[in-house]
Structure 1
Amino acid sequence: MNQIIKDFSDYAWGLPLVILLIGGGFYLLILSKFLPFRFLGHAIQVLRGKFDNPDDSGEISHFKALTTALSSTIGMGNIAGVAVAISVGGPGAMFWMWVSAIVGMSTKFFTCTLAVMYRGKDSAGELQGGPMYFITEGLGKSWKPLAIMFSIFGMIGALPVVNVNQLTQAINDIVLIPNGVEVGLKSNLVLAFVLVAATSIIILGGLKRISNAASKMVPSMVLLYFVLVLFILISNYEMLPKYFLMIFTDAFSAENFKGEPFLGGVLGALILLGIRRGAFSNEAGIGTAPMAHGAAKTNEPIREGLVAMLGPAIDTLVVCTLTALAILVTGVWETTSDNGVSLTASAFSHTMPIYGNYLLMICVLIFSVSSLFSYSYYGTKCMAFLIGADKKYFYNYIYIISIVLAATTPFSMMLNLIDGVFALMAIPTMLATLILAPKVVKEIKAYKSRMNL
């Protein structure tokens, strides 16, 4: 089973998808005349609520939309995903994650602008946003098979299997094993049932409860993680210039790459690895974030796109870079055979021997649990599109069962499953975005003249 899922993931992440994600993102960047970078200041003003209007249509504020989207993207992708990238690809993998984030900012701007431009109504008459709606509303009913494809894979992609798997691994490695507790199927099941109980309370309360929980948890967890990693970097400051430079040099020499070649070379494989881990981390072009941003309380699609594009910057350029540097400067990427969250834990315990692991455990717990809430919302939206809003709650039961499954299966299997499904979600999202991109450019011009920018 593990091998079948790995083959499926490798096949899905072939050259066509890389061209679609990165090539498509570059095309959008040029088409918008580098808008994500020119309008950064304006985006921050929007995020701070300067233009909020309580009478606008939608459910949640710009800030809550961003934190709901970020609570799913700032998660195990930043702690476990980066560790996987470095353990396989070495320091150079981080450079290609940066490339994916810079390109991803323009992709996210376009997809989330479209999510507000072409909101559709579900079977209960509620206004909804997301790739399945901008495909049917923007491209017409004849494109519905593409929207159905997104929704089917979206339901699988929204399962919290990587988060739960890595949270279980973290609790085992950091809390249980050092304290002499025997870990195995029994202890993993106990952890799974505790998570099921916590998740059920929040997710059965709907989007308002999810966004309230996320808007409180996300800023504080990013701040705590930021402080801890800065402490590691300051403690190992003499190593910092060497490894920061190595991210750039290794990106093109691929000297530390340990995986299988791609397109006949290790450099191609390193680029692919960085893009895969970047996509897993910031989800630009995958289509999950537009579902959260599509619910934002705004009648200005461009504004929501500008807020959304801050996501990859915060997620990959800041949080992932911090994790990568912590793993590199402590040297644990060369001295241990750990992978995923265990490798990041090694970096923390290297600099903070007694309490480092436990502080990381708090971050991992909040990262994982906040992601659990957001993903359930994405999955119910996909199910509502497929079989009707009155039946969307069935998804929560599938979701809860998957928590038990994820806590008792190998990490590589869960990571490959989500990687592969994300690839299949990106196809309809990116195709529709590239076709509808000229409409967004037209909207940018209209917005600029309305706002005198």
Structure 2
Amino acid sequence: MRKLLLALALLLPLFALPAFGQDDAAEVAAETQEVVEETTRTVDMMVNDAISPISNAVVSVIFYSVPVAGTDFPLIVGWLVVAATIFTLYFGFIQFRAFGHAIELVRGDYSDPNDAGEVSHFQALATALSGTVGLGNIAGVGVAIAVGGPGATFWMILAGLLGMASKFTECTLGVKYRNELPDGRVSGGPMYYLSKGLAERGMAGLGKFFAVFFAICCIGGALGGGNMFQANQSFQQLVNVTGGNDVSPLAGFGWLFGIVMALVVAVVIIGGIKSIARVTEKVVPFMGILYVGTALIIILMNIGSIGWAFSQIIGGAFSPEGVAGGAIGALIQGFRRAAFSNEAGIGSAAIAHSAVRTKEPSTEGIVSLLEPFIDTVVICTMTALVIIFTGALGTGLTGVELTSAAFGAQFSFFPYLLALAVLLFAFSTMLSWSYYGLKAWTYLFGEGKTKENVFKIIFCVFVVIGASMSLGPVIDFSDSMIFAMALPNIIGLYLLMPVVRREVNQYFAKIKSGEIRKMKGH
């Protein structure tokens, strides 16, 4: 009833214009705006008050930190980085050995359209990338460098390179243990390799517990960090570029933006992974070219300073002086933001990669190692270079504001371009996380169109909620849900490492023997 009254109140000025003068109409519009904003604030407070105690408790556990050289170090980040290092060593630096072959697979050199699965290697990579390339690359880099100095970039790159091995491990298992349904659709991801893989090793009960725990956290993360946070931040960026909260004509109309965004998302996700893949394979390259292209132009404009910039990065990485404990602070911020950005070890990307058309699980593991490279090593590094080049680091800004100021120093129009980039990043992230949440949902409640549509409706409703409210504790809670996914996932990866090594050794043996050859025309 409240929403109906608000809608009527918003429409009232349209009917009142003939009867009232311009001043009267403006006054009614202003009063309507106040009603909307006050209602939003009231609901905000109610939700925040209800969620805060739970959110604070969960966040304090998942992001438990220990002081290191005067800087708080979240243990969950150490959990991810240590795992990435172990996988790198165990698989003999697979991220470097198989890099060239990964590009061949993405090009389709070894693709067979008759293999089981729903999407191509490129589409699977684009879908997974759309879930990770986003605000972490824009705001996260700004936070890392503002706190840890230019040296944080070095550790970010290192964490990205190590994370490639984590992605390889989880995505190989995702295809290995996926369910292939009679209608040609597939369901895969940590839920399946934790339950089925650990059952093979005589730990069926533990595997089932881990799978259910992962699925619950995945749904929470999909609705929060993969949905509400994206809608909220993209709307806020639009408000910022149109004058800010006090001037922008969009201020207070987050619900309307949310409805539009929800409708666009609904049109895509109703078609399933094939529809999502068709959109992301176009959106991801476009937004990558848009953002990276602008960064590349700025880098080329300052090419004479490239040596100086890298000396700042390398020197800051090992310098005993500096912000937040010098080298230790830079290391912590770099590793933390890389882990937040590429999600290696979280397990989410394995859900998207599981839908690929292949009969060799290792192929998608090899393709997936490109993901942290593109996300962290390429895009995050370019963002960092622009910030260092333009001198924005000394302005006192942080996060997305720092990145925007750095780009804006060279191109005054960039804040508008950034708003478009954020909108595209948010949209593509929603698409990917809708699929992740859906597969977790169907794992818990069973496959079927009706059950799938229930989740899709819930997901779209949360888009509107996210755009309308600030929901600070809700976002904190959902962030912790995403990183809680890494707890059972990493343990499962450790236990199933021998399976992955057997798969990859068999695959390369088949290529060497000629059993697997490049497709004709490639």
Same fold (TM over 0.5): yes
Give matches, 1:34-433, under 5 Å: 34-120=93-179, 126-140=185-199, 141-142=204-205, 143-159=207-223, 160-177=227-244, 180-182=247-249, 184=251, 186-253=252-319, 255-257=321-323, 268=328, 270-337=330-397, 339-353=398-412, 355-390=413-448, 391-410=451-470, 413=473, 416-433=476-493
The alpha carbon displacement at 1:426 in A equals 0.5
Task: Identify the range of structure 1 (274-283 vs 55-64) with the bigger mean alpha-carbon deviation.
Answer: 274-283
The alpha carbon displacement at 1:434 in A equals 0.9
Deviations 1:102-159 (A, max 9, x none): 1110000010000111113579995321000011111113210100010000011123
User: Does the aligned pair in 2 maintain the 1:170–1:342 contact within 8 Å?
Assistant: no
User: Does the aligned pair in 1 maintain the 2:316–2:327 contact within 8 Å?
Assistant: no
Output the amino acid matched with 2:279: A
Output the amino acid matched with 1:440: V
Q: Which has the larger radius of gyration?
A: 2
Deviations 1:275-309 (A, max 9, x none): 23212211110011000101100001111111000
Q: Which has the higher contact order (CA 8 A, sep 6+)?
A: 1
User: Does the aligned pair in 1 maintain the 2:240–2:248 contact within 8 Å?
Assistant: no
Distance 1:230 1:365, change over 3 A: same
Aligned residues with identical type, % of pairs: 37
Counterparts of 2:267 and 2:184, CA distance in 1: 26
Aligned residue pair count:
444
Output the amino acid matched with 1:96: W
Counterparts of 2:246 and 2:84, CA distance in 1: 48
Query: Structure 2: which 5+ runs fail to align?
Result: 1-47, 65-73, 514-522
Output the amino acid matched with 2:367: V
User: Does the aligned pair in 2 maintain the 1:78–1:281 contact within 8 Å?
Assistant: yes
Are residue 11 (structure 1) and residue 11 (structure 2) matched?
no
Output the amino acid matched with 1:154: C
Counterparts of 1:45 and 1:440, CA distance in 2: 21
User: Does the aligned pair in 2 maintain the 1:119–1:137 contact within 8 Å?
Assistant: no
User: Does the aligned pair in 2 maintain the 1:89–1:254 contact within 8 Å?
Assistant: no
Task: Identify the range of structure 1 (284-293 vs 267-276) with the bigger mean alpha-carbon deviation.
Answer: 267-276
The alpha carbon displacement at 1:196 in A equals 1.4
TM-score, normalised via structure 2 length: 0.79
The alpha carbon displacement at 1:328 in A equals 2.1
Output the amino acid matched with 1:221: M
Counterparts of 1:411 and 1:83, CA distance in 2: 23
RMSD: 2.6
User: Does the aligned pair in 1 maintain the 2:121–2:357 contact within 8 Å?
Assistant: yes
Counterparts of 1:285 and 1:318, CA distance in 2: 19
Output the amino acid matched with 1:247: I
Q: Tell me the residue number matched to 1:261.
A: none
Distance 1:418 1:266, change over 3 A: farther
TM-score, normalised via structure 1 length: 0.90
User: Does the aligned pair in 2 maintain the 1:345–1:357 contact within 8 Å?
Assistant: yes
The alpha carbon displacement at 1:417 in A equals 3.4
Q: Tell me the residue number matched to 2:10.
A: none
Q: Match of 1:91, SS?
A: coil
Q: Match of 1:52, SS?
A: coil
Distance 1:8 1:235, change over 3 A: farther
Task: Identify the range of structure 1 (90-99 vs 290-299) with the bigger mean alpha-carbon deviation.
Answer: 90-99
Deviations 1:202-228 (A, max 9, x none): 112211110000011111221121210
